[in-house]
Structure 1
Amino acid sequence: MPTADAAGRTGGAVALTDISIDFAIGGHATYKAVAPTSLAVAEGEFVAIVGPTGCGKSTLLNVAAGLLKPTTGRVEIFGEPLTGLNLKAGYLFQQDGLMPWKSALDNVAITLEIRGAPRAEAEAAALAWLTTVGLAKFGDRYPHQLSGGQRKRVGLAQVLIREPKILLMDEPFGPLDAQTRQIMGTLLLDLWAVDRKAVLFVTHDLEEAIALSDRVVIMSAGPEASIIGDYPIDLPRPRDAADIRLHPRFHALHKAIWAQLKAEVIKTYDSGRV
């Protein structure tokens, strides 16, 4: 059964406690995007956030990244207050972050070079990561010469080469076709299984959320959105992101979660915000 929220969880990799977020909309008016809500991600845990369009999923992710300061509440990373950028996290956005004038190898290597690594060291590490994501033969290709899935693989290498302890992922596979999304999901799970980083994964795709995660949390329709559902995903690991969807338990979980999520999606639709 789902709990009302994750407020009872403390510590771990990420802890958002009683977080609320207001945005100024002109003059003295504010838009209350997120009402006080709490979410925690344990070390090694893969948590997916789902919810209707505009409910604040990406907003919570930005708070965890240190890109956005909450109006109220507390943010802790591995038990320490977050006071600036979250340097222990790697962030993979929906849109490609690749520099079009650099090759795939250079796009990955520069992540270490800007931190002071010698060129040869950065290049060797970049090639190793491109090999890990299956692109060893594509290091000299430029972004416009790569498919959408290949660009996402470069993006993953670009993030993982820093060896972050936390992965923040905002609809990372959203632009891809359904088959490529499943392939990328399996690649992500294979990479994650190596060292079990904490993952906070935002998606509109409930099937994707269930296939990948240890927990799926639901955000309510905005404004003043909050976490209203928290479902443990008790599917066996290791998983294939495509094959696990055929598991009988997958369908039971989808039915239970969608029953709650559907109501919030309809609220958003009825409000005219989509």
Structure 2
Amino acid sequence: MTAGVTEGALGAKADAAHAAVRLDGVTIEFTLPEGRVFRAVASSDLVVGPREFAAIIGPTGCGKSTLLNAAAGLLRPASGRVTVLGAPLAGINRQAGYLFQQDALMPWKTALENVAIGLEVAGTARAEARKKARDWLARVGLAAFSERYPHMLSGGQRKRVALAQVLIRDPKIILMDEPFGPLDAQTRLIMGDLLLNLWSQDRKAVMFVTHDLEEAIALADRVVVMSAGPSARIIGDFAIPLERPRDISEIKLERAFQTLHRDIWHMLKKEVLKAYSDQQSEEAAQ
């Protein structure tokens, strides 16, 4: 079982007409203090299907999070277009839930209150919002921790609260930026399995940014590879034809997984080394 790789117009397998997220020629630039324009991401095309789990990997600083922020409507492309569920994106992507690397829990609110607040601000009655919040806390394994404040929870528990906080609003698209990055290796495995279990229940579209190639392969239907920056671009798109449901710790032992890892790393390694070399050169010039 081998990976499928395409270059150029990526994501051809997804139905572009019914895509959850579609990027057409998206270029992202920033104006630096001295007035120079920095091109973070060069013209990039990507299609994510409505039930597809797509992971995006690449070297540090290549623009993975920048591309995700464009899909979230937090950044406006210098050129190109972002389309969400068939409509051009203008402003914040209201169809998406965003799980950041650092949780956004309010320290003065309990776990229950943190999960319920998304519904409350949208107009749901407090009693109903809290009833749904209790259900979601149970679904992420925190039924007994609803009255605890964030400082009373472990890193993994806070991440579970943050996940419930996003999913309770039932977004059609889930954007995840290194969500398990701060966690230890064992907790990352547990959180990965939890995410897959929750995702498998309704299979929303997911764009998942990570530096961890093993994590990307274990979770995703596709792994999209970005080149080193600046002017980073999408250079590879690998299908992940591993059977579901998946147990992350077990699937890593399969030969098909190891073959996928070898093939993707062969492409990714060149970009990681290039990014490292460029960083060394920049440091030497300072």
| TM-score normalised by length of structure 2 | 0.94
Tell me the residue number matched to 1:2.
Answer: 5
- Which whole-Å CA distance do the structure 1 matches of 2:95 and 2:248 have between them? 27
Q: 1:38-71: per-residue Cα shift (whole Å, max 9, x none)?
A: 1110010000000000000000000000010000
- SS of 1:100's equivalent in the other structure is coil
8 Å CA contact 1:7, 1:17 repeated in 2: no
Tell me the residue number matched to 2:155.
Answer: 148
Tell me the residue number matched to 2:136.
Answer: 129
One-letter identity of the residue aligned with 2:229: G
Tell me the residue number matched to 1:245.
Answer: 252
- Which whole-Å CA distance do the structure 1 matches of 2:248 and 2:102 have between them? 22
- SS of 2:265's equivalent in the other structure is helix
Q: 1:230 aligns with which of 217, 231, 237?
A: 237
1:170 is aligned to 2:173: no
Q: 1:190-228: per-residue Cα shift (whole Å, max 9, x none)?
A: 000000000000000000000000000100000100000
One-letter identity of the residue aligned with 2:6: T
1:24-39 matches, cutoff 5 A: 24-39=31-46
Tell me the residue number matched to 2:23.
Answer: 16
| TM-score normalised by length of structure 1 | 0.98
1:188-199 matches, cutoff 5 A: 188-199=195-206
Structure 2, unaligned runs of 5 or more: none
- Which whole-Å CA distance do the structure 2 matches of 1:242 and 1:183 have between them? 9
Structure 1, unaligned runs of 5 or more: none
- Which whole-Å CA distance do the structure 2 matches of 1:142 and 1:105 have between them? 9
Tell me the residue number matched to 2:222.
Answer: 215
1:120 is aligned to 2:127: yes
One-letter identity of the residue aligned with 2:269: K
Tell me the residue number matched to 1:98.
Answer: 105
Q: 2:59 aligns with which of 52, 57, 74?
A: 52
- Which whole-Å CA distance do the structure 1 matches of 2:80 and 2:155 have between them? 38
- SS of 2:248's equivalent in the other structure is coil
Q: 1:131-173: per-residue Cα shift (whole Å, max 9, x none)?
A: 1101000000110110111001000100000000000000000
Q: 1:262 aligns with which of 258, 269, 278?
A: 269
8 Å CA contact 2:11, 2:48 repeated in 1: no
- Which whole-Å CA distance do the structure 2 matches of 1:26 and 1:96 have between them? 30
Q: 1:219-243: per-residue Cα shift (whole Å, max 9, x none)?
A: 0000100000000001110001221
Deviation for aligned residue 1:26 = 2.5
Deviation for aligned residue 1:28 = 3.4
- SS of 2:98's equivalent in the other structure is strand
Q: How many residues are aligned here?
A: 274
When the two chains are superposed, the root-mean-square deviation of aligned CA atoms in Å is: 1.1
8 Å CA contact 2:217, 2:261 repeated in 1: yes
One-letter identity of the residue aligned with 2:43: P
Deviation for aligned residue 1:27 = 4.2
Q: Give the share of equivalent positions with the same residue, in percent.
A: 62
- SS of 1:228's equivalent in the other structure is strand
- Which whole-Å CA distance do the structure 1 matches of 2:124 and 2:158 have between them? 24
Tell me the residue number matched to 2:71.
Answer: 64
